Amino acid sequence: MKSTIPESGMPITQPDRQEASLHGEILLRLRDYVVEGNIPEGARVPERQLCAMLGISRTPLREALKVLAAEGLIELLPNRGARVRELSERDLEELFDVMAGLESLAGRLACEAITDEEIAAIERLHYEMYGHYLNSDMHGYFQVNQRIHESIVAAARNETLRAAYDSFAGRIRRVRYSANFARKRQRWGEAMREHEAILDALRRRAGSELSDTLFQHLRNKRTAAIEHLAAARGATTATVAGS
């Protein structure tokens, strides 16, 4: 069997690669399933149902759940499985403010280090996202939107910043996704215009301007997320009261 020897001295075999690839696919599908709101917030994660849906046993599912717990999407319950993390309005205010600060710093640093090739790649993503906007494809829009923000953070060339960003991004990914679907067309258009300003500042490597634009962009997302949370919970309360 062919294998390669990494710096650690341990061989990486083809089955190892296949297992890692399978683990990554399971994690990706499970993360999307949770982010897209298929399990209500605060609800238990239906492990048996997910195993059947993904065609896997409990062991790889639980390994993936540990990753989602580390990302902040779910909570592991001692001897009782897991549940989708429930965030309060105050949680969202604090998390989005931290994210705004991190992205603001990332934008400033990125303008000092980003290459022409990286700007071109972000520009391509921007127009791909614009296509999803024109087609009212919110799912596609959200996926590409996240890649744009992650690309700017990566261009900052600061691994400590990137690790902090990844940690907090996971905790609000679900509410950012659901808040997108609650957006009015006007607000969605405003978000696109903000992204035009982000791209323009990035092209000019205007660090201070990009920093301010990203901070306000995240502040606007915070407002949309909190409004969505209040509306969703108000609807739930009304349903319960009327039942």
223/234 Cα distance (integer angstroms): 16
Q: pLDDT digit of tens for each residue in the chain (243 aa)?
A: 444 434 444 444 554 555 567 788 899 899 889 988 899 889 999 999 999 999 999 999 999 999 999 988 999 998 888 999 988 899 999 999 999 999 999 999 999 999 999 999 999 999 999 999 999 998 899 999 999 999 999 999 999 999 999 888 888 888 888 777 655 667 888 999 999 999 999 999 999 999 999 999 999 999 888 887 777 666 655 554 565
Domains and CATH numbers, the chain: 3-84 (1.10.10.10), 89-242 (1.20.120.530)
pTM above 0.85, yes or no: no
Burial bucket for residue 111 (CB in 10 Å: 0-12, 13-18, 19+) = buried
Quick check: 114 and 202 in contact, CB under 8 A?
yes
